[in-house]
Amino acid sequence: MGGLLIAIDGPAGSGKSSVARAVAERLGVADLNTGALYRAVALLALRETLDLDDGAALSDAAGSIELSPEGACVDGVAIAEQDLRTPEVSAAASKVSAHPEVRTVLLDVQRKAAEAGRKRGGAVMEGRDIGTVVLPDADLKIFLSAAPEERARRRAVQSGREAEFDRIQEAMKVRDRQDSERDASPLKPAPDAVTLDTTELDLDEVVSVVLELARKSEAGKGQTR
């Protein structure tokens, strides 16, 4: 027994993190941001000047990281968001995440975190491959998309770097391409995911749709118990 597991996937700037946070808060369940794990591996790699092509060294680093609702943790302490959100870490995270060895280590970390959340009442887990690979049996799968210009605009506003819109859009394009074209768990909707184009929607509208879908899944789950 346990609560609902909701998977939210999508590209950078599609609204995943904001939607996941708001939905988890409304449902009173854990919000698990898996991008923080890949960012944490990238941060450790940059700090320790590891070779970003060395899958074995990177997967060793990944082995020291855990995921909790507070974020990516090393030795039980959450890594500060501001350290994980720099442009250098974003670019390195996308490279690090293409290594199958790294993904294998982090797969276990993510499943453990989801199971702990489920036992405590449920979890919303967000990333790129949650519905396809990490939680193929999630109760509800959402895939968020939005037009590339809108995603870059949101990222620029969010980071207070509006003047750097062109640079942000270019970096996002590179990251989108790497994330979608890699062989290991590429970014794509699960066949049973509900896809929502958020280009014209504000946060509250998307959150309402997801909460309504969650309510329906909960009701459906109740009937099959």
State the nearest-atom distance from the C-beta of 11 to ligand C5P, in Å: 8
Rg (CA), the chain: 17
The string of DSSP letters for 49-66 reads T--TT-HHHHHHHHTTEE
Given a contact cutoff of 8 angstroms between Cβ atoms, the answer to whether 96 and 65 are in contact is no
Tell which residue, 204, 14, 51, has the closest CA to residue 128: 14
Q: For ligand C5P, which is the closer residue by CB, 133 or 207?
A: 133
Given a contact cutoff of 8 angstroms between Cβ atoms, the answer to whether 158 and 39 are in contact is no
Residues that bind ligand C5P (CB under 6 A): 12, 34-35, 38-39, 93-94, 97, 127-130, 175, 179
State the nearest-atom distance from the C-beta of 184 to ligand C5P, in Å: 8
The helices-and-strands tally (H runs, E runs) of the chain is: 9, 8
| Euclidean distance between CA atoms 151 and 130, whole angstroms | 20
State the nearest-atom distance from the C-beta of 119 to ligand C5P, in Å: 21
Q: For ligand C5P, which is the closer residue by CB, 147 or 218?
A: 147
Q: For ligand C5P, which is the closer residue by CB, 94 or 198?
A: 94
State the nearest-atom distance from the C-beta of 178 to ligand C5P, in Å: 7
DSSP label at residue 163 = G
Q: For ligand C5P, which is the closer residue by CB, 39 or 154?
A: 39
Q: In this structure, are strands 71-74 and 4-9 parallel, antiparallel, or unpaired?
A: unpaired
State the nearest-atom distance from the C-beta of 131 to ligand C5P, in Å: 10
- As given in the structure block, the two tokens for residue 47 are 């700090």
Q: For ligand C5P, which is the closer residue by CB, 3 or 127?
A: 127
